[in-house]
Amino acid sequence: MEVSQVVDDLFRAAIKHRASDIYFLPAENGYQIKIRNYNGITLWTQMDHLKARRMMNYCKYLADMILSEQRRPQLGAMQWQLDDAKFALRLSSVGNFNDHESLVIRIIYSLERTRDPFFNKAPIQLITKMTQKRGLIVFSGPTGAGKTTTIYRLVNELAENELVMTIEDPIEIEEAAFLQLQVNREAGMDYSDLIKVGLRHRPDVFIIGEIRDRLTAQAAINAALSGHLVYTTVHAQDPLGVIRRLTHLGVSDEYLNQALTAVAYQRLIPTVSGNPKALLVVHELEALTAKNTYDWEEWQRELKQARTKGVVSDETVKKFWEG
């Protein structure tokens, strides 16, 4: 089979399962190709080194990457036509300690192709109401939880009358109505740098892909304090952990009280029909800081209601009982 056909089959399978990433990972006797989606990472296939090398080189060639470089990090981008749809792909490669190259391919979906229905629309309505206050709205949850999709859906309703700017690493969803900027550290354009540049464009709404460090945290807080509506994500185990993470990154209690509007936690939950749904809970700052530990009460109530309606299984409830 031609290498182009094998790659097409791989991309077709990944997109069918709503994968966010495809991995080419060196193994003891060849390569493992894995796919990440809302259910985690699964093995697509294993193959010998030569066949995997041909597939990787084919992708690297299309992404304008250096084929002979298999050790140093590289980034690339390409478009892939699948039936009547075109998908943007972002590639990242690097060699391990044995100089065996690994490759990760991020699949970027257009907003109209993302389908993440919710168990309960009340949290979305609550966030929409909160946006009138402006300020910072932070989403947390694991990779592949649909956080960016939810943020884009919320902001998309504002794009017609307001300027929306996104800063991501990498861009996860293409949206022509937004001004989208991508982090490029080699060119000196990190999150904090692009936020500063972005403020000169005077956007009404910022989408910041992720707060990872002190500079980005401070820049996001400053943008919120200056009257912008800012959506972002922070890695944390639970909503209360978001507050602790921001504090750890140097954001004072005073600035949190002034800037933070809401914290949301989201995951994609498998359903008995096979189509995942997004479970989302939303909290205001005051409700979170009044707790010493997060009790998951609201989250668990939503899970139990879904089980009563026959939407999810007992095993799913048990697996996601504490986020």
Q: What is the DSSP string of 187-254?
A: GTB-HHHHHHHHHTT--SEEEES---SHHHHHHHHHHHHTT-EEEEE---SSHHHHHHHHHHTT--HH
Q: pLDDT digits over 204-213, tens only? A: 999 999 999 9
For residue 170, give the CATH number of its domain. Answer: 3.40.50.300
pLDDT computed for residue 308 by the predictor: 95
Q: How far apart are CA 271 and CA 306, in angstroms?
A: 9
Question: Based on the domain organization, do 280 and 208 belong to the same domain?
Answer: yes
Pick from 261, 249, 189: nearest CA to 224: 261
Contact 109, 171 (CB under 8 A): no
Contact 108, 90 (CB under 8 A): yes
Question: Based on the domain organization, do 127 and 252 belong to the same domain?
Answer: yes
- SS3 at position 81: strand
Contact 9, 44 (CB under 8 A): no
Question: Based on the domain organization, do 120 and 94 belong to the same domain?
Answer: no
Q: Give the model's confidence band at 116: pLDDT under 50 very low, under 70 low, under 90 confident, else very high.
A: low
Instruction: Return all residues near 65 (Cβ < 8 A) that are at least 6 apart.
Output: 74, 75, 76, 91, 93
Q: What percent of the chain has pLDDT over 70?
A: 98
Question: Based on the domain organization, do 153 and 37 belong to the same domain?
Answer: no
- Rounded average pLDDT over 151-156: 90
Domain with 35, as residue range(s), is: 3-110
Residue where a domain terminates, one of 67, 89, 110: 110
Question: Based on the domain organization, do 248 and 299 belong to the same domain?
Answer: yes
Question: Based on the domain organization, do 64 and 162 belong to the same domain?
Answer: no
pLDDT computed for residue 142 by the predictor: 87
Q: Answer yes or no: pTM beyond 0.95.
A: no
Number of domains in the chain: 2
pLDDT computed for residue 254 by the predictor: 95
Question: Based on the domain organization, do 206 and 192 belong to the same domain?
Answer: yes
Which pair of structure tokens corresponds to residue 291? 């707790």
- Rounded average pLDDT over 103-108: 93
Which pair of structure tokens corresponds to residue 151? 């943020």
Please return the burial class of 182, using the count of CB atoms within 10 Å of its CB with bins 0-12, 13-18 and 19+: middle
Question: Based on the domain organization, do 232 and 263 belong to the same domain?
Answer: yes
Q: What is the mean pLDDT of the chain?
A: 91
| 77-81, 111-115, 195-199: segment of lowest average pLDDT | 111-115
- Rounded average pLDDT over 125-154: 90
For residue 61, give the CATH number of its domain. Answer: 3.30.450.90
Q: Give the model's confidence band at 115: pLDDT under 50 very low, under 70 low, under 90 confident, else very high.
A: low
Please determine, for residue 90, whether its predicted confidence score (pLDDT) is greater than 70. Answer: yes
Question: Based on the domain organization, do 98 and 153 belong to the same domain?
Answer: no
Q: pLDDT digits over 207-266, tens only? A: 999 999 999 999 999 999 999 999 999 999 999 999 999 999 999 999 999 999 999 999
Q: How far apart are CA 168 and CA 175, in angstroms?
A: 13
Please determine, for residue 159, whether its predicted confidence score (pLDDT) is greater than 80. Answer: no
- SS3 at position 33: strand
Instruction: Return all residues near 101 (Cβ < 8 A) that are at least 6 apart.
Output: 24, 26, 56, 70, 71, 93, 94, 95
Question: Based on the domain organization, do 299 and 172 belong to the same domain?
Answer: yes
Residue where a domain terminates, one of 93, 110, 127: 110
Which pair of structure tokens corresponds to residue 269? 């939950």
Residue where a domain terminates, one of 91, 110, 129: 110
Helix-helix angle 191-199:214-225, to 10 degrees: 20
Pick from 245, 242, 248: nearest CA to 283: 242
Q: What percent of the chain has pLDDT over 90?
A: 63
pLDDT computed for residue 143 by the predictor: 80
Question: Based on the domain organization, do 141 and 37 belong to the same domain?
Answer: no
Question: Based on the domain organization, do 69 and 175 belong to the same domain?
Answer: no
Which pair of structure tokens corresponds to residue 56? 């990787």
